[in-house]
Amino acid sequence: MDPSKFKYSKTHEWVNAEDDTATIGITEYAQSELGEIVFVELPEIGISFSKGDAFGTIESYKTVSDLITPISGEVVEINAELAESPEFVNESPYEKGWMIKLKMTKLAELDELMTAQQYENAPKEH
Amino acid sequence: MGDYMRTPLYEDHVRRGAKITEYAGWEMPLQYAGIAREVEVVRKKVGLFDISHMGEFTVSGPNALDLLQYVTTNDISKLDISRAQYTLLCNENGGVIDDLIIYRLAEQHYLLIVNAANEKKDFDWISGHNSFGAKLENHSAYIALIAVQGPLAERTLQDVAKMNVEEIGRFQIAITKIAGQWCQVARTGYTGEDGFEVLSDVNDCADIWNALLTSGEQYGVKPIGLGARDVLRLEAGLPLYGHELTDETSPVAARLMWVVKPAKGDFIGKAAILQAKENGGGRKLAGIEAIDRCIPRHGCDVTVDGKAVGTITSGTFSPTLGKGIAMAYLDADMAAVDMAVEVTTGARTCACRVVSTPFYKRT
C-alpha cells in the first residue's frame, strides 16, 4: 500500500488499481474533515456502479455523506470489518479503512483521476 | 476568529491538543482524545470539564425569595440553605426562557447558574422584573466553573479538597479549599453520572484544574470537551436550551411539570402553563432510538407511513449503547414507547422506535 501511487478524486476518494481491480477508500483529508466516524454503509457484492454513483454512506458525529465511486465497475469485495470498526477509516484511511473493491469496466477512467501530487496541490472543497 | 471570549483555561486546552469550537460567543474545547473515548472515560472513570462559559448570578437581600418565586417555576421557598434546585425561567406565554440551577448559599443569598448562550437574556429578564428590590448581580466574568464527573469523581475530589466531600449530598453545595484556593463544591452535573461542579474565582481555577488532573491521574482522569458533554447529557435524557427547550416550548410539552409548582402563588407564565396543561394534546418530548445504523439529527422530520408526526430536537451516536439516539417532539398519540417511526436524514429514511428516557441510567 503506497498512497503516493494511488489515484484521487475531487470528492476525496482514493483508488488503488491493480490489474482490473480497484480498491477504493476515502482520503486522510476526508476523514479528518468528517471527524470520528460511527457508521459506514457499504453495498452488496455483485452490484454495478457507474462513475459518480453513490456506493454507500459514511456517518460521523458531525455529518452524514455519500460515498462516491470515481470509477465504474462491479463490487467484488467489501471491507466487512468497517461495520464493527468504523474507526479504521479514521485511524488508517489508506489501509485498514479501505471500503470496496471493484472489477473495473472502464479502465480509461483511471486517467481522468488526479495523481497524489495533483490531489495534494488541488484546492480542497467540502 | 473574531471577538470570542476565552476561559482562564484556554491555553491549557490548546496545549493538551484540544480541538477548539465556537460556542455561545466563547472559544471552548470541542474534544481532546475523541468524543467516543471521552464519553467512556466519564462513564467508567472520571472526566474534567471546563464549563466556565456558563453564567452565574446572585440574588440577595430581604426580597430575594419574592423575586425568585416570581420569575421561576419551581418553589424556591422549599429550598434549605446549602441545597440546590433545578428550575425554569418562563415568559408570559409559558415558553422556556432558560433552565437553570439555583443554589441557596445563605438565608437571603441565592446563586443562579444559567446557560452561557442565555446569560444576557436571563439577566435582563430577571432584572426587568425586579420590582421587588432584590439585589441582583452578574458575576459571570469573575467566576470559573469546573465539572468533575464520573464514578471516580468523589475520590478524585477527595484527594485535594479540605473537607469530607462524601458529606455533600446530591444537589447540595459546600465551601472548601482545593489547592489552597477557596471554592464552592456542588454535587450537581449534566452527564447522568455522580459528580461535582466546582465554582471558583477565575484567577484560581487553573490551580484547581491542575490539582484535579494530578490527583485524578491514578483514577484515569481526562479533560473532556463539549462534544462528549452533549452526548453524555443526551444519553442521560437531559434537555438543552435551544434544542428541547425554547422560548416557544411549554414545560408541559417538555415533560418538565415536575419543576412547575402552581400552588406556590403567582409567577410569570403560570396562567399559560396551566392552560397548556388543561388543553393537553400538542406535541410531547419523547426519546427515539435508531434501529437502522444512522443518527437521527436535529431538525429531521419524524414520520409514520409518510405522514409527519414530529421533529428531532437533538440526536447523536451513543457510544455507550452503540446506536443512534435522539429526542423529538412527537404528536401526543405517537409519543408512546415502542411506537415504530421513521426519521428522514438527508436522502435516507431510517427506521427508529420511540423509547423511554433516560437512554442510559447509571447502576
A39 touches chain B (CB under 8 A): yes
Reply yes or no on whether the pLDDT at B84 is more than 90.
Answer: yes
Which residue in A57, A61, A66 is closest to B317 by CB distance? A61
User: Shortest CA distance to B227 belongs to which of A60, A24, A40, A18?
Assistant: A60
Q: In degrees, to the nearest 5, what angle opens at C-alpha A95 toward C-alphas A17 and B224? A: 145
Contact B295 A39 (CB under 8 A): yes
Report yes or no: B345 and B297 within 8 Å, Cβ to Cβ.
yes
Nearest to A61 among B227, B346, B347 (CB): B227
* CA distance linking residue B209 with residue B90, whole number of Å: 34
Nearest to B54 by CA among B117, B120, B138: B117
Distances in Å between the Cα of B184 and the Cα atoms of A33, B94, B147, B168 are: 40, 33, 12, 11
Domains along chain A with CATH numbers: 3-110 (2.40.50.100)
B348 touches chain A (CB under 8 A): yes
**Any residues with CB less than 8 A from the CB of B237 and at least 6 apart, and which?**
B192, B287, B327, B357, B358, B359
Which residues are B223's β-sheet partners?
B48
Q: Give the closest residue to B100 by CA, choosing from B65, B76, B135, B77.
A: B76
Are the C-beta atoms of residues B182 and B175 closer than 8 Å to each other? yes
Chain A nearest-CA residue for B345:
A64
Assess whether the region B10-54+142-235 and the region B55-135 belong to the same CATH fold.
no
pLDDT value for B2:
63
CATH tag for B10-54+142-235 (out of 3.40.190.10, 3.90.79.10, 3.30.1360.120, 3.40.50.300): 3.30.1360.120
Cell numbers found for residue A39: 457508521
CATH class of the B55-135 domain in this structure: alpha beta
Task: Please write the tens of the pLDDT for every residue from B110-124.
Answer: 999 999 999 999 999
- Average pLDDT of span A10-16: 96
Helix (H) and strand (E) counts in chain B: 8, 19
Give dist(CA B54, CA B115) in Å, integer.
Answer: 5
**Chain A residues lying within 8 Å of B294, measured CB to CB:** 39, 59, 64
Task: Report domain extents, chain B.
Answer: 10-54+142-235, 55-135, 281-355
Task: Calculate the average pLDDT of chain A.
Answer: 95
Residues B21/B111, Cβ–Cβ less than 8 Å: no
Q: Are residues B295 and A41, on separate chains, in Cβ contact within 8 Å?
A: no
Query: Which residues from chain B sit within 8 angstroms of residue A57, using beta carbons?
Result: 348
pLDDT tens digits, one per residue of A70-117: 999 999 999 999 999 999 999 999 999 999 999 999 999 999 999 999
* CATH number corresponding to B281-355: 2.40.30.110
* CA-only gyration radius of chain B, Å: 20
Contacts of A41 in chain B (CB under 8 A): 293
Name the pairing type of β-strands B222-223 and B47-50. Answer: parallel
Each residue's pLDDT tens digit, B19-52 = 999 999 999 999 999 999 999 999 999 999 999 9
Taking residue B11's Cβ as centre, other Cβ atoms within 10 Å add up to 11
A59, closest residue in chain B (CA to CA): B294
- Helices then strands, counting H and E runs in chain A, come out as 4, 10
Confidence bin at B281 (pLDDT 50/70/90): confident
Instruction: Check whether B333 has a pLDDT greater than 90.
Output: no
Residue B52, C-beta contacts closer than 8 angstroms, at least 6 positions apart: B7, B8, B9, B143, B144, B145, B146, B202, B205
Quote the pLDDT of residue B363.
Answer: 83
* Per-residue pLDDT band at A123 (split at 50, 70, 90): confident
Cα separation, A22 vs B89, whole angstroms: 59
